[in-house]
Homo-oligomer: A and B are copies of this chain.
Amino acid sequence: MKSKKIILRVIKIGGNIIDDPARLDVFLQQFATLQGAKILVHGGGKLATQLAEKLGIPQTLIEGRRVTDAATLDVVTMVYGGLVNKKVVARLQALECPALGVCGADGDLLRARKRPVKGIDYGWAGDINAVNTALIDRWLGQGLTPVVAPLTHDGQGNLLNTNADTIAQEIAQAMGTAFHTELVYIFEKDGVMLDINDPHSRIARLNAEQYLDLKARGIVSEGMIPKLDNAFAALQKGVKKVIIGAADRLEDLLEGASGTSIAEI
């Protein structure tokens, strides 16, 4: 039994950062200087949709999730696993952050199963079965910073498109046995707002009881509910803290001076 576990931060960035080169660069500068063990998980932003359009591959989104046919799987493999991942890694290297860009197939990092068809066929979409925690542990021990593209594999030779939020959550949960893990979701707003129209109504800290109350009173916006439900689920599964907020000042966000910190009590 370790009495004091090392902090590991799993930070997820999505379209609002990836699609804006200037914001991405500011974020990466802050991420690079962040002390301690860290993992970056990135989405693909609009680039995959844009490339699919240029190539004349029709895209179908159902409830915000991309239906991944074979041609679309190639597109996301190129954009997520290649373009976005390698550009981020090259930039982090320049910032002296020893980044290692991987997808879930690399080193058998994220083993998944093709999502079963239940009414909707999402195609080559994957739900995670296993996180290779021993591998991540070794990489972190060597001082490497994993940069994870939102692709998994099924162990039978197929890549699978997997939601980046879910990948971040699964990694943070799995690493929770060895580390004090914090799961950080960077998004367009500065956390959970009491009033979506008032940027000063940020809730700095939210526990399960308060959340249930806010939900019952209809104060939490519809779009936030799945995010927050997942955040509280992550806390149940070994994550110590979930932070949701904007990327403007990463240090403020991690210290609670911006964004919303979500904790059990």
Would B77 and A86 count as touching, CB distance under 8 A? yes
Q: Is A138 an interface residue (CB 8 A)?
A: yes
Residues of B within 8 A of A103 (CB): 86, 89, 101
What copy number does this chain have within its complex? 2
Q: Is A94 an interface residue (CB 8 A)?
A: yes
The 8 Å CB contact of A82, one of B83, B102, B158, is B83
Would B98 and A107 count as touching, CB distance under 8 A? yes
Residue among A85, A93, A144, A159 having the largest count of chain B Cβ atoms under 10 Å: A93
Given contacts A55-B55, A87-B159, A102-B101, whether A153 and B93 have CB atoms under 8 Å apart is yes
Distance of A82 Cα from B86 Cα, bound (Å) = 9
Would B107 and A100 count as touching, CB distance under 8 A? yes
Residues of B within 8 A of A192 (CB): none
Nearest 6 CB-CB pairings of A with B = A82-B82, A78-B78, A94-B157, A81-B82, A78-B82, A90-B105
